Amino acid sequence: MFNLGGSELLIVLVIVLILFGGKKIPELLRGVGKGVGELQKGLEEGKRQLSDSINTESDLEKDKRRDELSKPVQDATISR
């Protein structure tokens, strides 16, 4: 994704350590982890709602088709 090599990653980690200090990093990572977890929950909820919506529309179409097929057939002959 970012194509970071070993040396670039080490530089980023040193900069983060300098900026936030050793005691603040676990707290930051916990916050990031919680944020990622909430994002995943939201995505799953969205997928579930979309799936439910698609299934509901599909069920409505099936009901319409069944109603059309169950209507009585009108006599197609012409009376003279």
pTM of the model: 0.50
Structure tokens at 69: 């097929």
What pLDDT is attached to residue 64?
78
Q: Cβ atoms within 10 A of the Cβ of 46, count?
A: 10
Cα(56)–Cα(51) distance, integer angstroms: 9
Map out the domains of the chain as residue ranges.
23-63
In the block, tokens 């009376």 appear at: 79
pLDDT, one tens digit per residue, over 6-32 is 899 899 888 888 888 888 888 888 999
